[in-house]
């Protein structure tokens, strides 16, 4: 944020690149046609599982439900060896302390949604207090939502300043900025919002809250990955990516990994730089891993319902 007496020159975000809709959708479609061999598939499935943010964001969340989710995060499948833990557990700020204690010593991160999630409709001072509360409770990462109303009104500096203020409130916690791409409407706006978030200090850019449809899609994610690539070429700074919502099948998740590798390179193929916000994906990945190891599918009844 600007301080008294300081002068800040912001990029002209209205000049963000225009997106060729047909071109993006054709490129995204091509990633789904890559063949994946058996050994590569198993490694990919384990990588997908290790990139998932297991999430519970409901008004009916209880301490018990959060503890159960944390147990699953640490022990995805007790009967099969060599299955990795997930990347993080994501909860509301009021549940951060419970989750933090439950995963203690596991290396799993605790993420928390902030800034009046999912609407983002709250005064900035409340959003900042919300963020500081989550961090003080122990959140390693915070997922904020942008003010889409201000964005649609063309108040890009307002959106920029708000993200910068939340980034400052995060302290050492990493900041994921949710664009809610299903409400943005066009690929051009997705690109512009991505540019604003990265210049304002986002450590990750994220598609969706999971509460609005459509959520993550491959073309939208490709637009955001290309924004990350261009930002990296200009600044040398790596930014993470998190598609969230709408990814429930392993095959689709593997296509996303192919897209990440071919757009950004192998450096982004770790949970430090790429995440899936898709709790229902975990069970399908586990079913596929067990199938690859044993040759048999287990019933969905063998896996906990989050």
Residues labelled as active-site residues: 143, 206, 242
Strand order of the β-sheet with 109-113 is: 53-55, 88-91, 109-113, 141-145, 174-178, 204-206, 240-242
**CA 110, CA 291: separation in Å to the nearest integer?**
30
Phi-psi category of residue 256: left, alpha or beta, with phi > 0 → left and psi -120 to 50 → alpha? alpha
Task: Compute CA 10 distance to the chain's CA centroid, rounded to the nearest angstrom.
Answer: 26
Strand residue runs (E) in 58-173: 88-91, 109-113, 141-145
**CA 64, CA 59: separation in Å to the nearest integer?**
14
Which residue from 269, 279, 283, 287 is spatially nearest to 44, judged by alpha carbons? 269
**CA 8, CA 6: separation in Å to the nearest integer?**
7
Contact residues for 172 (Cβ-Cβ < 8 A; gap 6+): none
Angle subtended by helix axes 218-235 and 250-264, to nearest 10:
30
**CA 278, CA 221: separation in Å to the nearest integer?**
14
**CA 88, CA 108: separation in Å to the nearest integer?**
5
Are 11 and 157 contacting, i.e. CB atoms less than 8 angstroms apart?
Answer: no
Structure tokens at 194: 């991505």
Phi-psi category of residue 239: left, alpha or beta, with phi > 0 → left and psi -120 to 50 → alpha? beta
Residue 244: phi, psi to the nearest 5?
Answer: -140, 135
């Amino acid at each position: 944020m600007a301080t008294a007496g300081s002068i800040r020159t912001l990029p002209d975000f209205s000049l963000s690149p225009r997106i060729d809709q047909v071109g993006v959708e054709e490129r995204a479609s091509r990633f789904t046609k890559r063949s994946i061999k058996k050994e590569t598939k198993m490694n990919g499935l384990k990588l997908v599982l290790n990139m998932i943010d297991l999430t519970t964001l409901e008004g009916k969340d209880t301490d018990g439900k959060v503890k159960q989710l944390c147990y699953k995060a640490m022990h995805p499948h007790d009967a099969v060896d060599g299955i990795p833990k997930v990347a993080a557990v994501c909860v509301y700020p009021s549940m951060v302390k419970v989750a933090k204690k439950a995963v203690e010593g596991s290396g799993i991160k605790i993420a928390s949604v902030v800034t009046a999630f999912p609407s983002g409709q709250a005064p900035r001072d409340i959003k900042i207090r919300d963020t500081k509360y989550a961090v003080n409770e122990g959140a390693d990462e915070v997922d904020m939502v942008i003010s889409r109303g201000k964005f649609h009104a063309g108040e890009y500096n307002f959106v920029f300043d708000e993200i910068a203020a939340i980034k400052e409130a995060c302290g050492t916690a990493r900041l994921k900025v949710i664009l809610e791409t299903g409400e943005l409407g066009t690929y051009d706006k997705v690109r512009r919002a991505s540019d604003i978030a990265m210049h304002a200090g986002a450590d990750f850019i994220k598609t969706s809250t999971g509460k609005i449809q459509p959520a993550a899609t491959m073309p939208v994610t490709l637009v955001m990955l290309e924004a990350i690539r261009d930002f990296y070429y200009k600044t040398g700074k790596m930014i993470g990516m998190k598609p969230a919502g709408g990814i429930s099948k392993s095959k689709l998740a593997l296509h996303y990994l192919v897209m990440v590798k071919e757009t950004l390179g192998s450096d982004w193929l770790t949970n430090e730089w790429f995440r899936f916000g898709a709790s229902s994906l975990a069970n399908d990945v586990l079913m596929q891993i067990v199938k690859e190891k044993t040759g048999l599918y287990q019933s969905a009844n063998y896996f906990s319902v989050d």
